[in-house]
Amino acid sequence: MSDQTIPVSGSLQAAYPQRGTMLEWLHGWIVTVDHKKLGILYITYALFFLLVGGVEAMLIRIQLMAPHNHVISPEMYDELFTMHGTTMVFLVGMPILFGFANYLVPIMIGARDMAFPRLNAFSFWLTAFGGLLLYYSFLGGFGLYGMGNAPDVGWFAYAPLTGKVFSPGHNVDYWALALIVSGFGTVGTAINIIATTVSLRCKGMTFFRMPLFVWILLVVSALTLVTITPLTAAQVMLLLDRYLGAHFFDAQAGGSPMLWIHFFWIFGHPEVYVLVLPAFAIANEVIPVFSRKAIFGYPAMVAASVGIGFTSLAVWAHHMFTVGMSSAGNSFFVISTMVVGIFTGIKVFNWLATMWGGSITFSTPMLFCTGFLFQFLIAGLTGIMLAVAPWDWQLHNSYFLIAHFHYALVGAIIMCIFAGFYYWFPKATGRMMSETLGKWHFWVFVIGFHMTFDTMHFVGLLGMPRSIYTYEPNRGWDTLNLIISIGAFVQAVGVLIFVWNLVHSYVRGKLAGPDPWDAWTLEWATPSPPPSYNFVVEPEVRSRRPLWDIKHPNDPDWKYEQ
Amino acid sequence: MSDVPIFAHEPWILPARGRVAMWSLIVAESAIFSLFVVAYIYYMGRDQFGPTPSVLDRPILNTVCLLSSSLTIWIAERAIEQGRMRRFAIFWAITILLGLKFLIGTITEFRTLINRDGLTIDANLFGTTFYSLVGLHATHVLVGLVGLSLIMAFTLFGKVNRSHAERIQVFSMYWHFVDAVWVVVFTVVYIVGK
């Protein structure tokens, strides 16, 4: 029904304001409190660090390409894998998802901005300066004189290595302080998203008419409140240990490094779901639109998201089977971890059922979501393998584990983020991304992904541990590592195609119009890009697919829902 | 379903954003406190040397002050809702004084423990966990006092009126939370742990 016109609120004059000088333009971005601009700032910031973290991964892979390689020094290598992990989780994963949330949550629920626009800007700048502080570690302290002062203790920073005795200098301090600062920003944004979702929904937008994207971001934000804060608390304890001589994690004075491991994973595991749930959120929007069907099992999807949220708080110690817990403890965490598989299974079946019988178009966003389904399934299956304690004893901290979580982080999250880019780029910029380049991006990236991360499973099964600087030849790891590294380069080429597509389409892309995908949620009822106030008149909603109702007045959804 | 929109005659009322945000902040803060409480309980009685919790005196007067400040701030909340600004100012001021008494009491307690008993943060696990947990709470009292005093200053300059009742109540939620946390801290440190 794309021949029908959609009521577009706001005029194009408002969408394309007069261009001022460069300084005015810059000033506008820095002082902005508009949720859409802040969303774009978040995403741009995260994209920049995605490239930085990617370069770090490349350097790691060059080092591991062949046995007895010495391309970089061992000290540098430690810094690289620490910074790669920290960057990808805190400076890429969280900001990019909060960027999407910032841009989309208010507009999807028919609001004009977030509940607290200034808090929103404040949170973004905290996050941004947290990232800059972390990277300043390469220069600050003794950095310029020695090998650099960057954190080198692993992204999980296990005690007692982080104590003043074993980590003199300021590397651990940079890690802790930067993450405390960006953590405050994260909590601020999470509070903002919750308040927006609960208090600013437009008329008729009941909880069970909200798009699933908004539902999931509500769950994620609630989860963030109790996820990031334990890390902040533990990092405060760590700094007390390092600066005031406290003994929280100091084994010499009776303190317990075990406590740090527990505290870290009480943060660390829910964090995985904070990252992956927004990826599901993107899939929930993309898959129905390109299957031309309403999402299958909306209430089950909501229930599964909430279920994942709660369950994720009780699974942290599956990262700790090898530290020697009681068998009762082990059994509890084996079972609770497997329960997560039930909820994610519900989701996978609902996505499949949504696609089933639909008239699917494999545009680039849908391609990425389809890839996501396959890869997420495999990540889930290796996850269940690792949840079995004896299997984990064998393969803990091997490359099998690395392969598993990269399958989830890259194969699921990054794939969905790419899908989100291709899907919402026309809304944010007014121009379509190139489909040809998009298909190249997809295929090159997916081939590289499978070369790297499928092979990592095997090298892990053959016993290669994580975080090692180099290895002996003739262990059967040589060829496999070479394939992994080549795959990494192929992925890098894929990402560069993507970046080129972004830049090229921003300038040359064909004009998108308000609703290029013939979609159903409220953001497509605004011009592309939307004016700063989003909607001239507050919309009223009668069903989960308000634009469907408008486009099909004879067959609206609200006749069938409830 | 009829063809009439079901909400046509219903008012569309959603929870106030300030309250939702403050509840969220309280959830986040509770998580931070939980970790410090867990650390305190985990290390309880594990010390091989140094002062033990038996050196603590129960700060009863302090506790009474802080808990009654919850009552006085509640009276102030009711007063501003009814537009009785004088009554609001008086009870707001009493709340500040009670909070200040608590903070001074904590500082005195710390001084005594350091000078009399030699209990410092690096003395042993008890010192580490005691000062960080009670200190974390005292920090929250301090932040609350800064907020209370700012509102007091605005009140004295006549900038606060009945229309601010909602905001005053949202801020007061934070103060009630700080009081409620003290109940937990007091129970763990001065009753269970002693």
Task: Give me the residue from B7, B35, B128 closest to A247, CB to CB.
Answer: B128
List % helix, strand, coil for chain B (3-state, nearest 5): 75, 0, 25
pLDDT tens by residue, A416-457:
999 999 999 999 999 999 999 999 999 999 999 999 999 999
pLDDT at A215: 96
Would residue B129 count as lying in a domain? yes
A147 band by pLDDT with thresholds 50, 70 and 90: low
DSSP state of A249: T
Q: Is residue B20 part of a domain?
A: no
Q: How far apart are CA A178 and CA A182, in angstroms?
A: 6
Partners of residue B26 in chain A, C-beta under 8 Å = none
Each residue of A475-488: pLDDT tens digit? 999 999 999 999 99
Report the residue from A200, A221, A254 with minimal CB separation from B47: A254
Instruction: Please give the mean pLDDT across all residues of chain A.
Output: 92
- Asked if B128's CB is within 8 angstroms of A248's CB, the reply is yes
CA distance A112 to A238: 41
Of B1, B48, B132, the CB nearest to A240: B132
Q: Which domains does chain A have, with CATH numbers?
A: 30-561 (1.20.210.10)
| Residue type for position A246 | A
pLDDT of residue A149: 80
Q: Is A169 left (phi over 0), alpha (psi -120 to 50) or beta?
A: left
Determine the distance in angstroms separating the CA of A182 from the nearest CA of chain B, rounded to an integer: 15
Across A17-31, A65-79, A189-203, least confident range:
A17-31
| pLDDT value for A494 | 97
Query: Which residues in A lie closer than 8 A to residue B122 (C-beta atoms)?
Result: 244-247
Which pLDDT score is estimated for A170? 86
Q: What's the CA angle centered on B38, arms B50 and B44, to 5 degrees?
A: 25
pLDDT at residue A154 in the model? 92
Given an 8 Å threshold on Cβ–Cβ distance, is B128 in contact with A232? no
User: Tens of pLDDT along A274-300?
Assistant: 999 999 999 999 999 999 999 999 999
The C-alpha angle B92, B98, B99, rounded to 5 degrees, equals: 90
Distance CA A528, CA A271 (A): 33
| pLDDT score of A141 | 65
A199 conformational bin, left if phi > 0, alpha if psi -120 to 50, beta if neither:
alpha
Direct distance between the N- and C-terminal alpha carbons of chain B, in angstroms, rounded to an integer: 64
d(CA B178, CA A71): 54
Q: Above 60 in pLDDT, residue B22?
A: yes
* Contact flag A233-B32 (C-beta cutoff 8 Å): yes
DSSP string computed for B71-95: HHHHHHHHHHHTT-HHHHHHHHHHH
Q: Is there a domain that residue B25 lies in?
A: no
| Alpha helices (runs of H) in A137-211, residue ranges in sequence order | 171-199
Alpha-carbon distances of B24 from A189, A233, A389, rounded to whole Å: 11, 17, 35
Residue A78 pLDDT more than 60? yes
- From chain B, the residues in CB contact with A255 under 8 A are 43, 125, 128
- State the DSSP H helix or E strand holding residue A251, giving kind and residue range, or none if neither: none
CB pairs under 8 A between A and B: 116
d(CA B80, CA B137): 28
What is the spatial distance between Cα A259 and Cα A199, in angstroms, rounded to a whole number? 38
Q: What is the C-alpha separation between B123 and B51, in angstroms, rounded?
A: 8
Determine the Cα–Cα distance for residues A49 and A86; give it in Å rounded to an integer. Answer: 11
The residue of chain A with its CA nearest to that of B125 is A247
Q: Is A398 helix (H, G, I), strand (E, B) or coil?
A: strand
Residues of A in contact with B48 (CB under 8 A): 254
Amino acid of residue A8: V
Contact B128 A198 (CB under 8 A): no
The answer to whether A344 and A308 have CB atoms below 8 angstroms apart is: yes
Distance from CA of A201 to the nearest CA of B (A): 8
Residue B54 CA to its chain's centroid (Å): 26
DSSP string computed for B125-184: HHHHHHHHHHHHHHHHHHHHHHHHHHHHHHHHTT---GGGHHHHHHHHHHHHHHHHHHHH
Q: Is A390 exposed, middle or buried (0-12, 13-18, 19+ CB in 10 A)?
A: exposed
Residue B67 in any domain: the answer is yes
pLDDT for residue A6: 55
Q: Give the nearest partner residue to B121 out of A203, A246, A254, using CB atoms.
A: A246
CATH number of the CATH domain containing B114: 1.20.120.80
Which chain A residues have a beta carbon less than 8 Å from that of B131? 246
Expressed as residue numbers, the domain containing B137 is: 59-192
The pLDDT of residue A8: 54
pLDDT at A3 over 90: no
| Residue A526 φ/ψ region, left for φ over 0, alpha for ψ in the -120 to 50 degree band, beta for the rest | beta
CA distance A448 to A431: 28
- Closest by Cβ to B31, choosing from A195, A225, A247: A225
In the predicted structure, residue B107 carries a pLDDT above the cut 50: yes
Residues of B in contact with A200 (CB under 8 A): 14, 17
Q: How confident is the model at residue A252 (pLDDT cuts 50, 70, 90)?
A: confident
State how far the alpha carbon of A210 is from the alpha carbons of A107, A220, A548, in Å. Answer: 11, 15, 14
Residues 6+ apart with CB under 8 A from A26: none
Chain B CB contacts of A228 below 8 Å: 28
Among A91, A251, A93, A243, residue whose Cα is nearest residue A158: A251
- What percent of chain A is predicted at pLDDT more than 90? 85
B31–A245 C-beta distance less than 8 A: no
pLDDT at A176 over 90: yes
Between the alpha carbon of residue A413 and those of residues A80, A197, A272, B113, the distances in Å are 22, 23, 10, 52
**Tens digits of residue pLDDT in A87-114:** 999 999 999 999 999 999 999 999 999 9
Tokens read off for A116: 């607290």
- pLDDT given at position A150: 87
Instruction: Mark out chain B residues that contact chain A at CB-CB < 8 A.
Output: 1, 5-7, 12, 14-18, 20-21, 24-25, 27-29, 31-32, 34-36, 39, 42-43, 46-48, 121-122, 124-125, 127-129, 131-132
Q: What was the pLDDT predicted at A19? A: 64
Query: Across residues B3-13, what is the average pLDDT?
Result: 60
pLDDT-derived band at A142 (thresholds 50, 70, 90) equals low
Provide the pLDDT for residue A145: 53
Residue B92 lies in a domain: yes
Cβ-defined contact of A192 to B121 (cutoff 8 Å): no
Measure Cα distances from A350 to A284, A320, A360, A408 in Å. 10, 32, 15, 19
Query: What's the domain count of chain B?
Result: 1
A511 by DSSP, 3-state: which?
strand
In sequence order, what are the residues at sequence separation of 6 or more whose Cβ sits closer than 8 angstroms to the Cβ of residue A66? A478, A481, A482
Smallest Cα–Cα separation from B167: which of B179, B157, B154?
B154
Separation between Cα atoms, residue A187 and residue A179, nearest integer Å: 12
Chain A CA closest to residue B23: A191
Using alpha carbons, list the distances in angstroms from residue A58 to A46, A310, A484, A493. 18, 36, 11, 11
Q: Of A198, A245, A254, which has the smallest distance from its Cβ to B46's Cβ?
A: A254
CB contact under 8 A, B27 and A256: no
Which residues in A have their CB inside 8 Å of a CB on B? 115-116, 187, 190-192, 194-196, 198-201, 203-204, 221-222, 225-226, 228-230, 232-234, 236-237, 240, 244-248, 253-256, 259, 263, 266, 540, 542, 558-559, 562
Q: CA nearest B20 in A: which residue?
A: A195
- Looking at residue A9, what is its pLDDT? 53
Domain-embedded: residue B4: no
Q: Please judge whether A247 and B7 are an interchain contact, meaning their C-beta atoms are less than 8 angstroms apart.
A: no
Average pLDDT over residues A489-511: 96
Contacts of B39 in chain A (CB under 8 A): 237, 248, 259
pLDDT at A555: 87
pLDDT of the residue at A396 = 92
Residue in B closest to A233 by C-alpha:
B32
Instruction: Label residue A75 by pLDDT band (50, 70, 90).
Output: confident
Q: Is residue B171 part of a domain?
A: yes
In three-state secondary structure terms, A53 is helix
In a domain, B118, yes or no: yes
pLDDT at B154 over 90: yes
Contact check, Cβ <8 Å, B125/A247: yes
Per-residue pLDDT tens for A14-56? 445 566 788 988 999 999 999 999 999 999 999 999 999 999 9
At residue A2, the pLDDT reads 41
Query: Which tens digits make up the pLDDT trace of A336-365?
Result: 999 999 999 999 999 999 999 999 999 999
> Is B34 a residue whose pLDDT tops 50?
yes
Nearest CA in chain A to B30: A226
From the list A428, A382, A438, A398, the residue with the least C-alpha distance to A529 is A428
Q: How far is B87 from chain A (nearest CA, A)?
A: 31
